[in-house]
Structure 1
Amino acid sequence: MLLRPLDLDGVLAFVRVVDLGSFTRAAEALDTSQAAISLRLKRLEDRLGERLLDRTPRHVTTTRKGESFLPAARRLLEAHEDALSEIAGDVPARLCLGISDHVAGPNLPALLRRLGLDKAGLITEVRIAPSRDLASAFESPGEGGYDAVLLRTEEKPERGGTILAQERLGWFAAPDFPAPPLGEPLRLAGLSGPCNVRAAAARTLDAAGLPWTEVFVGGGVLAVGAAVTAGLAIAALAPSTAPPGAVEIGARLCLPELPLTWIVLRSRRLTGRPAEALRTLAAAYRGPGGR
């Protein structure tokens, strides 16, 4: 039996490292340094007398004891948040977040839940919209605007935002998707309305002189992903938003390379719980090419 209570900062560091899969991302989410996260984890492990994480230069995984401790660690943090909310009695803060459909991906709700952004003390309002609409709306003053937006763009921004990741679009389809017979157009699925990714796919195929036709136009990436999984068509997607089971078949079908894109965060000056939540979410989307 432990005679002294656990350090909540250490518990939070442990949970964030597990959820984000990285000491660096956890440090970003908690607005501290990687060295500080390592120190908190060491103190927690020393306090428990158990190693909770296995660390290599590329991967962080929970040990058997760490996996066992994780649910209790989450409950402890939730109880702490509930206690603070009861004492404060404040109206929950609100974070209005706009996310491009080609950034959100199919796992956004599960991501918000895993990161604890659904807890008391914060209402997270998420609106999914095309990147160009989000960029325009973010610039608009007044009520109903966004606190932050996550965009996907083909033009690497030099200012006016934080680059979270760099990703090349790919041609995704079901594993058994057949090559079109000679002379027949490539069957495509894409988003309805103005869509930068859809436009990039069309522009790339036209430049290569390859015939194509749209056989499915969906209202969101989830719908496009369903068409891909069903074997109906091929779609230009970022690897992070491709549906489970889909494969990149550009090389097999000798299709031209699609452009690089960047995931960019633009935000207003936030404080308190909204700022903490946004740092955590941004860290989850952080990937290669971010800066």
Structure 2
Amino acid sequence: MAMMLDLDQLRTFIAICDTGSFTRAAEVVHKTQSAVSMQMRRLEERIGKPIFGRDGRSAKLTEDGERLLGYARRLIRLSDETVAAFDDDELSGRVRLGTPDDYADRFLPEILARFSRSNPRVEVTVVCEPTVQLVECVRNGSLDLAIVTNHELTPTAEVVRQEPLLWVVSNHHRIEEEDVLPLALGRDTCCWRKSAQEALNGTGRRFRLLYASNNSTALAAAVLAGLAISVFPESALRPGMRVLGEAEGFPRLAPCQIALLRAANRPSTATIDALAEHIISSLDNLSMRIAAE
């Protein structure tokens, strides 16, 4: 008899992989932890191979588990698309979303992929601008939602994620030892730039702003080339970067708060609310994975 896979078990399996733990996955799929463990035992029995490591309830996948994850995502995506195709009440329309380019690079692939699978008839228009411009776009009605860096200009924004803001330098250079620190930071409206400069002024360290750009890729290039020091949120660290701390004379910075800003001058719609929920869920799941690592 051909092996039949249970979609509910596959959804739980994906939740474990996305959150990094059985406990957090149980909260996502609204099951007890023992029920989640039982589902995974039955899933392993169905495929006849272990999918998790042998160290208790660790979410570390075996080689067969990695193979299964790809198939599981495809099966769940096809199932959701099939149900949506016959749903007369399925959401449709257009949502205008704004985000700075560094958040777009790190967060949008997962957010838009999950949202598109659940709402294939919704068109999402994305605008990439610095937070200051996005705040104005939301206020004047040209954007429905914006993922922004929370600061004094965003008092009505909902903080959905917080992570450390870190000093970074090339792993192959020691420019932090120079008498005058070369910096690569955002433009003059960037709150991270303001925080970094105020922190260095407080320590008496001399510095010069060597590169200024709102493009995170350009700033990262300057860092990796060994030309400058910058500040990056934890999730934006790239291979080849080294974190500088108080031991090297770099003061602790206020954490980066990522927030969701909604247009307040007109009523929301079911489509806008659905995308907002996907953004919050995706950023929360990313926090769980980083914590698990």
Distance 2:109 2:16 in 1: 17
Q: Structure 2: any 5+ residue segments left out of the alignment?
A: 263-267
Alignment of 1:137-152 (within 5 A): 137-138=137-138, 140=139, 142=141, 144-146=143-145, 149-152=146-149
Per the alignment, residue 173 of structure 2 pairs with 177
Q: Deviations over 1:138-185 (max 9, x none)?
A: 5x3746321xx4333468x999624433x2322101113334676x42
| 2:197 equivalent among 190, 193, 202 | 202
Q: TM-score, normalised by structure 2?
A: 0.74
Distance 1:202 1:134 in 2: 23
Distance 1:59 1:286 in 2: 18
Relative to structure 1, the CA distance from residue 122 to residue 73 in structure 2 (aligned partners, 3 Å threshold; closer, same or farther) is farther
Three-state SS of the structure 2 residue aligned to 1:150 is strand
1:128 counterpart = 2:128: yes
Relative to structure 1, the CA distance from residue 158 to residue 239 in structure 2 (aligned partners, 3 Å threshold; closer, same or farther) is same
Three-state SS of the structure 1 residue aligned to 2:194 is helix
230-239 vs 77-86, which moves further: 77-86
Q: Which amino acid aligns with 1:127?
A: V
TM-align CA RMSD: 3.8
Relative to structure 1, the CA distance from residue 235 to residue 134 in structure 2 (aligned partners, 3 Å threshold; closer, same or farther) is same
Three-state SS of the structure 2 residue aligned to 1:176 is coil
Relative to structure 1, the CA distance from residue 256 to residue 109 in structure 2 (aligned partners, 3 Å threshold; closer, same or farther) is same
Relative to structure 1, the CA distance from residue 46 to residue 59 in structure 2 (aligned partners, 3 Å threshold; closer, same or farther) is closer
Q: Deviations over 1:33-85 (max 9, x none)?
A: 56465555455345445443348689511123322222221221232233234
Q: Structure 1: any 5+ residue segments left out of the alignment?
A: none
Relative to structure 1, the CA distance from residue 70 to residue 285 in structure 2 (aligned partners, 3 Å threshold; closer, same or farther) is closer
Per the alignment, residue 275 of structure 2 pairs with 274
Structure with more of its chain in helix, by fraction: 2
Distance 1:251 1:245 in 2: 20
How many corresponding residue pairs?
Answer: 279
Alignment of 1:1-291 (within 5 A): 1-2=1-2, 5-23=4-22, 26=25, 32-33=30-31, 35=33, 37-38=36-37, 40-54=39-53, 59-88=58-87, 92=92, 94-101=94-101, 104=103, 106-108=105-107, 110-112=109-111, 116-119=114-117, 120-135=120-135, 137-138=137-138, 140=139, 142=141, 144-146=143-145, 149-153=146-150, 161-165=158-162, 167-179=163-175, 184-251=179-246, 253-265=248-260, 270=270, 274=275, 277-287=278-288
Relative to structure 1, the CA distance from residue 175 to residue 213 in structure 2 (aligned partners, 3 Å threshold; closer, same or farther) is same
Identity %: 26
Q: TM-score, normalised by structure 1?
A: 0.75
